[in-house]
Amino acid sequence: MLGLMMDKPLLISSLLDYAARYHGGTEIVSRTVEGPIHRYTYSDAELRAKKLAKALQALGVGEGDRVATLAWNGFRHYELYYGVSGMGAVCHMINPRLFARQISYIMNHAEDMLVFVDLTFVSMLEDVAPEAGSVKGFVIMTDEANMPEISLPNVYCYETLLDVQDGDYEWPQFDEMTASSMCYSSGTTGNPKGVLYSHRSTVLHAWASTTPDMLGLAARDAVMPVVPMFHVNAWGLPYASTMVGAKLVMPGAAMDGESVYQLIDQEGVTFSAGVPTVWLGLLDYLERSGKRLNSFERCVIGGSATPRAMIVKLQEEYGVNVLHAWGMTEMSPLGTVNWPKHGMEDETDAERLDREVKQGRPCYGVNLKIVNDANESLPEDGEAFGELKARGFWVCSAYYRAEGEGHDADGWFSTGDVSTIDADGYMHMTDRSKDVIKSGGEWISSIELENVAVGHPDVFEAAVVGVAHPKWDERPLLVVVRNEGSNVTREDLLAYYEGKVAKWWIPDDVTFVDELPHTATGKLLKMDLRDSFQDYKLPTA
């Protein structure tokens, strides 16, 4: 017998429909690429997203067609999230920080039909476009007054396209399993792989992320996604914030400490999310300026491991509740967030911090396990570590046009991360499977060694890579960027490890560099570092 409840598909358009109806006056504030701050409301956004859907139809975009974006976090990008997916096409967010060759590969692989581009990326697009055969037109995300000189064919101005539309449009209803959007995982090896989200997975992910044990979002919040909309959907915040009708604050291209601070302060931001580098920049600005954070309550940090020292500083000096989170493009992205459980009220400060440096536990909708090389489940005792596998409502079931890669026969997704899971379900990521250092048959976590190093007051950034060793196979080498003006030595840093990690984990050597290489999404590019230090002679070798 079937239940007698309404059969309404979970569609992305329903989020904006709701926000426009019940939070129509709530603001979306954007720092624009052109310069000024732009403000409008959810009801303005819905009208313009509908105009955009009609403009797309007029340009020949139909159901399932891929429409690409190369854009920062801002109101027009937000309209594309809703206008493109809402009409049944697929919004393909491309990471503009990738190399030109990777971008053209992605556009061809996805067979993008149109590309919407922020002014910042126009000249890059001119380099990429000749290689992107499927693209039939380019829309510059600005108004006529700011239209640039451009050498591409079939170029349109975003505002002009919208101006001729009336916005009289009903969002179409269709199967919730329909593809809504796509992102290519940045991956540090091989070609990027396409993750194709559905309306259902996106709405369920947004719903789950608003719950108290995930991001805990509400209509009283002012949410600032610093994590870019071109990288894992800005952790789903453009959907989740709309679902609860929170004020949205979009930082555009300015993600330096001072600009982030200004928006937090001026717009009363209560919640934000970003990678550790962003918060490093903010903390640096706060320290130099002596400014305080007033409205800012919660800050989700993920994408790379959150250093202990950062948690302490944000919580104890600035009163911000830090939530460490883990996720992946393939997981929409949220997998785990670190909130305490009932019964943890009596944790000492040290116990609380030991827990908070872990990546957290899954909410309903995500299932995790760790396995050994033979794909056998390992004990969840906080000690055993192995490859992390995931399953869930918003975990990808296959890569786009690369089916079979990354998944077991029984449907679990191989994350490529190495972690422990403790008896309470808290996952602690110890490494990427490719970055773990194999010393004498045992594994050393490069992440843990990096976290200790960045806790040193003279260290700006640190990376640890495995270097060949005749006896131990590999041993850790610490690569450090010192803080400006610091003369911290190799010996100081090695001594700093004493008592913080097992003796045999302490790096064999330290080398100083001016900067470290990063991927397009701000993670350390370990592959490049390993190449650079491939022939490094350790003093212990």
Beta strand 271-274 with 66-70 is unpaired
305 binds ligand AMP (CB under 6 A): yes
Q: Which residues in the 129-158 window bind ligand AMP by CB under 6 A?
A: none
The separation between the first and the last C-alpha atoms of the chain, rounded to the nearest angstrom, is 71
329 binds ligand AMP (CB under 6 A): yes
User: For residue 520, what are its two tokens?
Assistant: 């397009």
Given the rule CB under 6 A, which of 197-205, 208-216, 292-300, 321-329 is the region that contacts ligand AMP?
Answer: 321-329
Given the rule CB under 6 A, which of 20-28, 241-249, 324-332, 533-541 is the region that contacts ligand AMP?
Answer: 324-332
Among 216, 257, 281, 333, binds ligand AMP (CB under 6 A): 333
337 binds ligand AMP (CB under 6 A): no
> Which single residue brings its beta carbon nearest to ligand AMP?
329
Beta strand 90-93 with 321-327 is unpaired
328 binds ligand AMP (CB under 6 A): yes
- Closest to ligand AMP by CB, 67 vs 232, is 232
304 binds ligand AMP (CB under 6 A): yes
Each residue 345-364 as x (binds ligand AMP by CB under 6 A) or -, in order, gives: --------------x-----
118 binds ligand AMP (CB under 6 A): no
Each residue 509-528 as x (binds ligand AMP by CB under 6 A) or -, in order, gives: ------------x-------
3-class SS of residue 82 = helix
- Structural element, H or E, at residue 417: strand 413-421
Asked if 252 contacts 31 with a C-beta cutoff of 8 angstroms, the reply is yes
Q: Nearest Cα to 369, choosing from 335, 402, 397?
A: 335
Q: Which residues in the 191-250 window bind ligand AMP by CB under 6 A?
A: 232
Q: What letters, b where the CB count within 10 A reaches 16 and e where it falls short, cover 104-140?
A: bbbbebbebbbbbbbbebbeebeebbeebeebebbbb
Count of C-beta atoms within a 10 Å radius of residue 318 = 16
- Closest to ligand AMP by CB, 235 vs 296, is 235
Q: How far apart are CB 331 and ligand AMP at their closest, in Å?
A: 8
Asked if 89 contacts 67 with a C-beta cutoff of 8 angstroms, the reply is yes
3-class SS of residue 185 = strand
d(CA 180, CA 175): 11
Q: Nearest Cα to 52, choosing from 183, 142, 209, 169?
A: 169
User: For residue 342, what are its two tokens?
Assistant: 């009932």
273 binds ligand AMP (CB under 6 A): no
Given the rule CB under 6 A, which of 83-91, 127-135, 301-309, 488-496 is the region that contacts ligand AMP?
Answer: 301-309
Given the rule CB under 6 A, which of 65-73, 145-153, 171-179, 327-335 is the region that contacts ligand AMP?
Answer: 327-335
d(CA 531, CA 66): 36
429 binds ligand AMP (CB under 6 A): yes
Asked if 143 contacts 167 with a C-beta cutoff of 8 angstroms, the reply is no
419 binds ligand AMP (CB under 6 A): no
Q: At which residue do the structure tokens 């830090």 appear?
A: 322
420 binds ligand AMP (CB under 6 A): no
Given the rule CB under 6 A, which of 31-39, 102-110, 215-223, 319-327 is the region that contacts ligand AMP?
Answer: 319-327
Q: Which residues in the 27-56 window bind ligand AMP by CB under 6 A?
A: none
Q: How far apart are CB 368 and ligand AMP at their closest, in Å?
A: 12
User: For residue 403, what are its two tokens?
Assistant: 């089916």
Among 417, 448, 461, 509, binds ligand AMP (CB under 6 A): 417
Cα–Cα distances (Å) from 230 to 69, 184, 467, 515, in that order, read 8, 10, 34, 25
Q: Nearest Cα to 185, choosing from 37, 325, 333?
A: 333
Residues that bind ligand AMP (CB under 6 A): 185-186, 232, 302-305, 324-329, 333, 359, 415-417, 429, 432, 521
